[in-house]
């Protein structure tokens, strides 16, 4: 695996691979890679012939009081893991490469509606930061296929919308969430949890599973299921931001009576650590599971 830090060096490798007739697969990350990220690399390998991964902790998707400074950075272990996982090229740009006119001077892609709810309501500007950096990375790498995790469900929908709205000729694959044995979704932020918090963190997935079972059981109204989930999390010592049931394709409130192709989504703080997770209910929105 080669590592490059500039657009020019990246392009040389990608152009050469394409000249050889290879399809380019791309996995953008913020580093501190775990098995969830590695599963995306594997999926990219299965759907392309030359896999590029990027590691870039993007300042514009963090709010002023969020964890940008303390976000875990482990570049040597990341490079080693990517090489072992069969990644062909690691793109490791710095802030100047991604924001040549500075963070304050950058053009931005806004994400109205879809980017305003749930995570977007709690983290204003977050999805504009995500859409902007992903658009830049897409233009740098020019992949045929890009793989994102459904762990960040709303982000995955935002990327699908970005590609459909701005016309990027890129196929987006949504990969399933990798979990710890107790159901906790793997995340770089899990390491912020102390031992006692970690022992309780599986409650989020258990609550999502209860929401799914209640929806499929068919007796309780969706609003009651949401309320119970929120209360359950609160009693278990979490500070939930939301525990909701939404339409899987657009995160709108479900039409009356609808109980298929929904998604249960939870965001909750445990101490100072904010965790998000979700579970598809009654069928996913496309076949790429």
| Catalytic machinery residues | 37
Determine, following the binding rule CB under 6 A, whether residue 284 of this chain makes contact with ligand AMP.
Answer: no
The minimum distance between CB 261 and ligand AMP, in angstroms, equals 20
Q: How far apart are CA 65 and CA 38, in angstroms?
A: 29
The CA-atom distances, in angstroms, between 197 and each of 96, 238, 279 are 37, 10, 22
Write down the least CB distance from residue 255 to ligand AMP, Å. 27
Residue from 132, 142, 187, 203 touching ligand AMP (CB under 6 A): that is 187
| Cβ partners under 8 Å of residue 158, min gap 6 | 111, 114, 115, 127, 130, 131
Residue nearer to ligand AMP on the CB measure, 58 or 226: 58
Cβ atoms of residues 287 and 173 within 8 Å: no
- When asked if residue 43 is in the footprint of ligand AMP (CB under 6 A), the reply is no
> Which one of the spans 162-170, 185-193, 208-216, 223-231 is the region binding ligand AMP (CB under 6 A)?
185-193
| Residue 134 CA from chain centroid, whole number | 11
Q: Does 148 bind ligand AMP (CB under 6 A)?
A: yes
Residues 256-275 vs ligand AMP: string with x where CB under 6 A? --------------------
Q: Is 186 in the site for ligand AMP (CB under 6 A)?
A: yes
Of 39 and 142, which has the nearer Cβ to ligand AMP?
A: 39
- Residues 5 and 75 sit within 8 Å (Cβ to Cβ): no
Rule CB under 6 A: which of 3-32 touch ligand AMP? 29-30
Contact between 177 and ligand AMP by CB under 6 A: the answer reads yes
Give me Rg for the CA atoms of the chain.
19
Residue 161 binds ligand AMP, judged by CB under 6 A: no
**Is position 246 an interface residue for ligand AMP (rule: CB under 6 A)?**
no
Q: Residues 48-77 vs ligand AMP: string with x where CB under 6 A?
A: ------------------------------
What does the CA dihedral 162, 164, 166, 172 come to, rounded to 10 degrees?
60
Check residue 138 for interaction with ligand AMP (CB under 6 A): no
Return the number of other C-beta atoms located less than 10 Å from residue 153's C-beta.
25
- For ligand AMP, which residue of 87, 146, 170, 185 counts as binding (CB under 6 A)? 185
Of 14, 52, 53, 6, nearest to 33 (Cα)?
53
Torsion, CA 282, CA 284, CA 285, CA 288, rounded to 10: -160
């Amino acid at each position: 695996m080669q590592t490059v830090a500039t657009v020019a060096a990246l392009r040389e490798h990608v152009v050469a691979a394409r000249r050889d007739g290879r399809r380019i697969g791309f996995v953008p990350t913020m580093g501190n890679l775990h098995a969830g990220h590695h599963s995306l690399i594997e999926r990219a390998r299965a759907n392309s012939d030359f896999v590029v991964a990027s590691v870039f902790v993007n300042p514009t998707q963090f709010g002023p009081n969020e964890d940008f400074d303390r976000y875990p950075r482990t570049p040597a272990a990341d490079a080693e893991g990517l090489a072992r996982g069969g990644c062909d090229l690691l793109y490791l740009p710095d802030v100047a490469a991604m924001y040549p006119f500075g963070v304050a001077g950058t053009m931005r892609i806004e994400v109205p509606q879809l980017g305003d709810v749930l995570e977007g309501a709690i983290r204003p500007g977050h999805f504009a930061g995500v859409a902007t950096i992903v658009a830049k990375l897409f233009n740098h790498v020019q992949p045929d296929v890009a793989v994102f995790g459904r762990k960040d469900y709303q982000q995955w929908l935002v990327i699908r919308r970005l590609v459909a709205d701005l016309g990027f000729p890129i196929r987006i694959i949504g990969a399933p969430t990798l979990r710890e044995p107790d159901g906790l979704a793997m995340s770089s932020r899990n390491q912020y949890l102390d031992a006692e918090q970690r022992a309780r963190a599986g409650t989020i997935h258990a609550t999502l599973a209860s929401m799914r079972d209640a929806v499929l059981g068919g007796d309780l109204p969706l609003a009651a299921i949401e309320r119970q989930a929120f209360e359950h999390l609160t009693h278990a010592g979490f500070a939930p931001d939301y525990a909701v049931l939404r339409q899987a394709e657009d995160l709108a409130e479900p039409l009356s009576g609808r109980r298929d192709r929904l998604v249960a989504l939870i965001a909750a703080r445990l101490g100072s650590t904010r965790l998000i997770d979700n579970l598809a209910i009654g069928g996913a929105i496309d076949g790429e599971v």
